Structure 1
Amino acid sequence: MSRIKTRFDALKAEGRGALIPYLQAYDPDLETSLEILRGMPAAGADLIEIGVPFSDPSADGPTIQAAALRGLKAGATLTKVLEMVRAFREGDNETPIILMGYLNPIDSYGPARFCKDAAQAGVDGLIIVDLPKEEADLIEGDAQGSGLDIIRLIAPNTPDARLPYVLDGASGFIYYVSITGITGTRTASEDELANALPRIRKMSDLPIAIGFGIRTPEQAAYASRTGDAAVVASALISTLATTLENGRPTAQTVPSVLTQLKEIASAVRGA
């Protein structure tokens, strides 16, 4: 059983939703991002998404674009991100780790080799933003063979007729992109979320994580209660960015991000 399923099963038994924070690897450098990553479980993270810096993050808004650029300038590569996961696993073998990124670095690395190396490093799932279901055979078999969950993205404008096709072969959880647009721009209303999720639940019994635009503790609490998890990304990265001086971390960088995460986690648990 995967770490992702184990964690969601445990949270369901507790009667609460999950909090899934996001951090961009190597933002603003390896040491700082690894320190934040290591601190996230104690701060309330149930699962963690790690963004793989990419030069053309087409689904991301300015906040995550800037974080990706900082990560690339700090020397991030796909190989080094896997090394970062491996370092995290030295002290935590339970918290599920999901890599979120784009197809080009994986394709350049070699999908089969990547899936093997990712699993050995301690990765549990993959969200490949620009990989449509029509081309998923590029990596699907290798991922499944390595025990990696393939997390599918569903958008508000995904037609009902397409849902069974997109969700075929999905595992881990479903990532519901709550807005039509890029990350960190606007937030879906409670009515929009309440109306959207039932049609997905008719097609799959996988947990549903709600992302894109979840910025406040209250929004995270509602998303985790309406769905099964809340994904918080741009809000945490914005906080990190405000602590930097000339692009470099300060004494406030790590504690500011983890304190904010604790506040969001408290709201999610209270939901």
Structure 2
Amino acid sequence: MKTLTEQLTKKQQANETIFVPYIMAGAQGLDQLEAEITLLCDAGASAIELGIPFSDPVADGPVIQAAGLRALENDVSLEKIIDQLKKISTKTPLILMTYFNPIFHYGLEQLVQELAETNVKGLIIPDLPYEHQHLLTPLLENSDIALIPLIALTTPKDRIAELVEAGEGFIYAVAVNGVTGVGREYQASLDEHLAYIQKISDKPVLAGFGISSKDHVARFRKNCAGVIVGSKIVDLLSEGKQAEVRQFIQESVNHTI
């Protein structure tokens, strides 16, 4: 069992709320990345999702798009991010959220080899269809890196079962139709959808997209193992509100059902 799957499954079995914050690597400058990771670890993050800036981020809402543009303006690249991660020591698993284009141009084999020198334990690639994962999965087979599947509200049940079976780390349940961002309206059927995925999954199911409050965390914990929070965290960090980030994570992970 890969490290990410093992660590998050243990938290689920202990009925702990899994909280995965997302940050855009380099949005405040790569020299701030270690401090941001340390802040999130100390606050109680179960794992940390690091966005890789890309010029065409089709799944990202305005807040994360703006953070990605700031990172690109800071001359941040995948190569520089990996070099920085090699220097950062953390026990909290890191997850790269990237589109396929940057890692394809970097070199898939080189990517897996380089990430072995970091604490990156997972990959999320929203524009890599399940049918094309064979481009990457053979390289990950003997690594400690989990390829995390995304399941949409519109995903048919037979497809959900297929994705759950193949997925590692955790199952990323997208809670809205559309892009990331706060202030989203959730469908009434969402709770049932999450409960179904968690019922058939032997791995933790985490809800993501639009989660921005303790009330959201409390709602989703009734039906799945935890949450992924992006735009809210990115917004607070861009405004220098580290104390609010810490408080939000601490209050979320301390939530019990």
TM normalised by structure 1 equals 0.88
| Residues 268 and 190 (structure 1), Cα distance of their counterparts in 2 relative to 1, 3 Å cut | farther
Deviations 1:15-40 (A, max 9, x none): 22211101100012112233111211
Give the corresponding residue for 2:217. Answer: 220
Which stretch of the first structure deviates more once superposed, 184-193 or 137-146? 184-193
Alignment partners' CA distance in 1, 2:58 and 2:143: 28
**Which of 217, 234, 237 is equivalent to 1:237?**
234
Alignment partners' CA distance in 1, 2:110 and 2:211: 34
Q: Is the 8 A contact 2:175 2:186 kept in 1?
A: no
The one-letter amino acid paired with 1:204 is: S
- Percentage of pairs with the same residue: 33
Displacement, 1:132?
Answer: 0.3
**Which of 157, 161, 168 is equivalent to 1:160?**
157
Match of 1:88, SS state, is: coil
Give the corresponding residue for 1:17. Answer: 17
| Residues 188 and 233 (structure 1), Cα distance of their counterparts in 2 relative to 1, 3 Å cut | same
Q: Which runs of 5+ in 1 are unaligned?
A: 244-252
Q: Which runs of 5+ in 2 are unaligned?
A: none
> Following superposition of structure 1 onto structure 2, how do residues 92-107 of structure 1 map, counting pairs within 5 Å?
92=90, 94-107=91-104
Displacement, 1:231?
Answer: 0.6
Match of 1:145, SS state, is: coil
Is residue 64 from structure 1 mapped to residue 64 from structure 2 by the alignment? yes
Q: Is the 8 A contact 2:30 2:81 kept in 1?
A: no
> Following superposition of structure 1 onto structure 2, how do residues 1-271 of structure 1 map, counting pairs within 5 Å?
1-89=1-89, 92=90, 94-187=91-184, 189=186, 191-241=188-238, 243=239, 253=240, 256-271=241-256
Alignment partners' CA distance in 2, 1:200 and 1:55: 32
Displacement, 1:191?
Answer: 4.1
Q: Which runs of 4+ in 1 moved over 6 A?
A: none
Deviations 1:232-255 (A, max 9, x none): 1101111233x2xxxxxxxxx2xx
Alignment partners' CA distance in 2, 1:11 and 1:190: 28
Deviations 1:127-168 (A, max 9, x none): 001000011111111122222101000000001122233334
The one-letter amino acid paired with 1:211 is: G
Alignment partners' CA distance in 2, 1:41 and 1:225: 24
Alignment partners' CA distance in 2, 1:29 and 1:3: 29
Q: Is the 8 A contact 1:63 1:237 kept in 2?
A: yes
The one-letter amino acid paired with 2:82 is: L
The one-letter amino acid paired with 1:174 is: I
Displacement, 1:84?
Answer: 2.6
| Residues 190 and 59 (structure 1), Cα distance of their counterparts in 2 relative to 1, 3 Å cut | closer
Match of 1:33, SS state, is: helix
Q: Is the 8 A contact 2:5 2:203 kept in 1?
A: no
Aligned residues: 256
Match of 2:117, SS state, is: helix
| Residues 11 and 239 (structure 1), Cα distance of their counterparts in 2 relative to 1, 3 Å cut | same
Alignment partners' CA distance in 2, 1:225 and 1:257: 28
| Residues 258 and 190 (structure 1), Cα distance of their counterparts in 2 relative to 1, 3 Å cut | farther
Structure richer in helix, relative to its length: 1
